[in-house]
Each structure stands twice: as structure tokens, then as C-alpha cells.
Structure 1
């Protein structure tokens, strides 16, 4: 199992200057690169300060100038906000400007608040149909001349300029939680980005079962990769969970605002909705948060991560963007590099030795 980190610029107060936000992201990205993380993922969001990323390609090109090895991925592009020609060209150029390190992740989109401003108020759930039309079109534009006559987009013969550096194209990932999205993504040669959200550990295997079924149903397709992301905080002392849980709860209430479109957003800052307005109230129980999310000392985190490894997860992604204090974000990465990643690297070497010995 490899490790990745999900990072975006974030701020929860106008008192924090953008220069600080930008430099914090850069410092974390460099730490992840030097520490041997496989990938860095950054999302697309609009009009909200808690995830400042109106065009993740810009962020990734900037980070590419300051890192050496780490793969750079979009987690995720929001299909209804793009057109096929623009998406094909911008992603291919990003692939060149990152020296072939782009991982192309796409999704239907999440926040209804954004859909009301970016997609004419269409229901967020309808974004999946846009995704299913745009991905095949982008792949054909990357390959050469192509004319499109679809439901959402129509254009005469055109091609992606430039073509991607990686051939035939950058790895494609699709964000998925429902069985239909797993099946469609794998049938189309894409890997899977998923998350158990705040659900108990049993949800990890539920998602793995969906992945495995889709793989089994499409034997004609080489097995894709399976990434899973959770909010993550690793700390030195056992009582560190209290700070992590408090920040997760507060961030979750802002997340509910955007998902359900039930609160105010002022100057880009979403208010935290009252607890009686949140869905899935068990997910706001401090004991459940501590147990379900990737919160713990290094030993506790390793024990939790073994469940992901057992479920066949290829890449575990640290979700660090939930207003966690910067010093704790840094310490989480340090502890993964110093204590957690070496544990799993040693397990992998041991497996390889046993396989070679027959």
C-alpha cells in the first residue's frame, strides 16, 4: 500500500493572509515529496475560502516547480464546470508542465452551493451524466481528431492541443461511492478515488466489495488502482485526539452547510450550521469520530491502516484539509514518513521475498 496526501489552500478567517495560506501548502507539498509520498491530490472548488482551488491545474503546475518526484493529481475536477475541448487541452498542458506527473481525477461534483453558482442551479446528483459524457470525449481528443455530438456538448472536428506527455494519456481516476459509478469507471479503464467519509471501519470493506465486483465484471480491463481517503491526524501523545476531533466536528458543520445548502456563506466563508441541522448525527459523536477517522498515535494509525491494506486499497490518502492547525498537519506528515510508511514498506519487501522464494 502506497501513501498520498490531499491538500488545498484553505482559510477560515480573513485575518489569515493568502501569502500564509500559499506558503503553508508549499511547505507541506515539499515535505510530502521529500518524504516519499506517492501522490499529492488537490481539489476543484469555487467561491469558498475553505478550499481555495478554482483551477487545480494552476496549483499543480506551481507545485511541480518546487517538487521532484511526487505525482500531482486533481481530486477532483468537476465535470459539469468544463467543456471537453478546454478540459483536454488544459490537462494535457498541465501534464507537460509537470513533466508527466499528472494524475487526472474527475467527479460529478459535491456541493449544491457551488452548483447553484457554477451550473445554473442543477441538482448536484445530475453531474454524473456530465462526467460520463466528458471523459470519453476527452480521451478521444487526446488521441487525435474527433467530432462530438452528445447530449451536453456538440462540436465539429477538433483535437487536444497539446497532446498529453504521458501516452496514451495520464492515468484517469473517477471519484465513486455507489456501485454504478464503480462499474462505469472500471469499464472505461479508470482507477477509483473513494472515501468512507465518517462511517465506521466496516464501510471500508463495503467500498472494497464494490470495487472487486466491478473488477470481476470487467475481466477485459486491466485491474485499475483503488485509492481511499480519510480525514487524518497523527499525534505523539494519546490525548492528541481531542484537538483533531474538535476541528473535524467544526469543519463538518461547514461541510453540511455546503452539501445541504442550508446555511449562510459570507465573503466566501461558510458558517457552521447548528448540530440539530446536521445529517448523520452519529458522525458527530466525538467517540465515533476518534474511532472512525484516521486519528491516533502512530501505533494506533498503523492498526487502522492494516484494515485498508487487508481490503486491497492500493493507495491511502491523508485528508489534511479540515482546518487542522498547520503545525499538526506538518507533524502528521512527519510521523507518517518516520514511523508509518517504513512499517508498510517493510511489509511489502517481506511479501516480495516470500513470493520470490516460492
Structure 2
């Protein structure tokens, strides 16, 4: 089993002038420790306008900084908001490829569309069409990373002409694709499209076993038709995180933060009413906390308790557990202490036979993945003689009276080019 950390970059009010700066650099320091301790993934979600819940609007910047501080941990952009209204597909291809180059092939490409009104309406995205937008944009973004040149596309939600989208990622044909999943149906969508499932539904091992079983059944069936150029058969489940030899202390250190994570998620996505720049989510959480169920996180407890619960996840078919540790007002020092204790006493027990498990899984899935790739309707590359050339706009140089100069049409690049007569004033006109 592999282990990841997720950073929404939560920041409950009140804030001061240094709050976001302090939060970001503490998070980067935690990732650096996690890399040294042997954690496998760090994930960072793209969100916009979700005050207190997530201040991580540019994960590619955060993850690039994390990559520069680390050497082995995978840097997962989870998720890139895929509908073109958020991010033009070519921009996504460029930034994922650059993250892969910066991290020397450690990038993971998570995808999704969000379900919050703040984000969808903030970018004028029709909620009824967002899933179709995700599918169109994600498939074409994968084509952009894998094809030289990209042939161009005229679709329902975006179009672009032939271009060679650069840079290309180090991982060929592109980094592994994942889909953010909040329920069993999106788990099925992930499997049908041959991508990893990032499940943020916080289910127990019994329910996880059902989800994982259905996911892998679809991966092995004729329903699986890859949206990308590879199949990433993986399922990850998220849970809270706080580890201490005293269970009560583990709950004290991490329980409130995990409760706030769930409350803030519900506030922005399900039941809340939010006035931008005004609503205090933390205060609302405190007022309603007594009526909330206790924090139940399968990653909150003693090392022995975690080993028992994580083995249940492992036996259920879950490939990765993602820990929610930077949540609410969980402190930086407590997060570091939990990471260190987990690495010392839990991780060795869970990773003892990882290589053998990986080998068995790859051998079992290989024929199904090969069959799935054969079912894909591949975009056809252009033949060399069909690749259109692109004429530069340039700038035409004309005299002040509007008559063409002897050097009209010369590419001035925005610089005035003097004529033989120094008294003649020239101006450059045209499009940037």
C-alpha cells in the first residue's frame, strides 16, 4: 500500500497579513519531511474562492516548489479543474508537462470539474454540462501531451487549430491520469475511462471494498475505454490523520481539524450560504460543533490501530490511502510528529511486501489493459504534408501620412525603423 498527503491549504479565520505565507511554507516543510520519511505522494487540489476551506488556487506553483525540495515523492495535481472555462486544455497540457519536467517524472495528473456554485458560476460553467466538458477537455489534453503536433480539434466546448503543444512531459506518453470521485458513480466513471480514482468520500474499509471491487470489475470489462493514452488502474481513499501512542491525544490533535474539513466541505458544496469576504466559516463550525458526530478518521489513533485499519483497506483492494492532515487548526508541530511516528511504526508493517503485491497486480491486469487500449478510438496524427504552416502577424511599417514606405511589410517587431530621411516619422502598426 502507498500513502499520500493532501493539501487543500486550509486557513480558518481570523487571518493576519502573514497567515497565507506562513501556511504555505509550513506545508512545504511538511512535504519535505514526508519525502525524507518515505511517503509516496503529495496531492494538491485546485480550488477557487472557497474561503477557509481551500486557498490553493495554483497547485502547480505549490507542487513545483515541493518538487524542488524533494527527491522521490510523487507530486499530484489533484485536481486540475478540467472544463475549458476554468483552464484552456492546452494550458493544462503545458503546465502538467512542465511540472513533470521540474519533478523529473514525478507528476500525477488529477482531473475534475468541481461541484461548488462559487467555482462553477465564478467561471460561467453550466453545471449540467460540466461532465461532458470534463470528458472532452481531458481526452484532448492527453492528446496534446502525447502527439507532435496536436492535429487540432473542433468540439462542443472548445476548439483550437493544429499546434505542437510544448513542452512535452518526461513520462511518456503523459503522466498518470486520475479523477476526483465523491461517490460510487464517479468511481465507475473513472474505471470506464481507464483512470485512477481519487475517492474523497471518507468511507470505511467495508464500503471501500465494495467500491474497489466494482472499480476493478469495470477495469477488466469491455466498458473500460481509456480517455488517455494509457490506463492508470489505481484507487485511492482519503481519511483523517493524527497518530500518537495515546489514542485520546491523537484525537485531540487531529479530530477537530478533520471535523472542520468535513464541515467546510459541506458549507461550500452542500448546505452553506456564503457571502464572499464576509462569512466566517470557522465561527459557524464552532457554533454547530456540539451537534456534529465525533470525528471518525481511520488514520486517527495509535500506531497499532492504524496498522489494523490500513490492512483492512489493503485487503479490500485499495491501492493508496491519502491522509488529510493539514486541516482546520491542526498545528504544524503536531503534523510533523504524526508523520514521524507513522513512518517509524506503521509504514514498515504496511510496505513489507509492496514489491510482490505490485508485481502480482501488474501481471493480473496486463491483458485487460492491453484489450482496453485496443478499444480506444485514437486521434489520427497528421501526415507531414497535411500539417499547416502558420504565418506570423508581424508589423507593417508605414509613413505618418498612411502611404506605404519602401520598407513596408518588414517585420519591425514594434520597434520604429528609421528611414533614409531622419525627419520622417514612422510608426509601426499591426496586431500584437
Report the TM-score range of the alignment, normalised by the length of the smaller protein: 0.7 to 0.9
Going by fraction, where is helix more abundant, 1 or 2? 1
Q: CA deviation at 1:320?
A: 1.5
Q: CA deviation at 1:351?
A: 7.1
Unaligned runs of 5+ in 2: 361-432
Distance 2:276 2:172 in 1: 44
* Pairing 1:67–2:70 present: yes
Equivalence for 1:285: 293
Q: How many residues align?
A: 346
Select between 323-332 and 335-344 the one with higher mean Cα deviation: 323-332
Distance 2:333 2:315 in 1: 31
Equivalence for 1:213: 217
- Contact 1:6–1:320 (8 Å) recurs in 2: yes
Q: CA deviation at 1:92?
A: 1.1
Pair 327,269 (structure 1): closer, same or farther in 2 beyond 3 Å: farther
Q: CA deviation at 1:183?
A: 4.0
Equivalence for 1:258: 268
- In the TM superposition, what whole-angstrom CA distance separates every residue of 1:28-70 from its partner, at most 9, and x where no partner exists? 0111100111111111011234322212111111111111111
Pick aligned residue for 1:337 from 334, 337, 343: 343
Q: CA deviation at 1:18?
A: 2.7
Unaligned runs of 5+ in 1: none
Distance 1:351 1:214 in 2: 20
Residue 5 of structure 1 aligns to a residue in which SS?
strand
Aligned ranges 1:39-188 → 2 under 5 Å = 39-47=41-49, 48-80=51-83, 81-117=86-122, 119-120=123-124, 122-123=126-127, 126-142=129-145, 143-144=147-148, 145-188=150-193
Residue 65 of structure 1 aligns to a residue in which SS?
helix
Q: CA deviation at 1:332?
A: 1.7
- Bigger relative contact order (CA 8 A; separation at least 6): 1
* Pairing 1:5–2:8 present: no
Aligned ranges 1:194-213 → 2 under 5 Å = 194-197=199-202, 199-213=203-217
Residue 162 of structure 2 aligns to a residue in which SS?
strand
- Contact 2:240–2:254 (8 Å) recurs in 1: no
Distance 2:270 2:43 in 1: 25
Distance 1:68 1:195 in 2: 27
Pair 261,303 (structure 1): closer, same or farther in 2 beyond 3 Å: same
Q: CA deviation at 1:116?
A: 2.5
Residue 146 of structure 1 aligns to a residue in which SS?
coil
Equivalence for 1:326: 332
TM-align CA RMSD: 3.0
Distance 2:98 2:88 in 1: 16
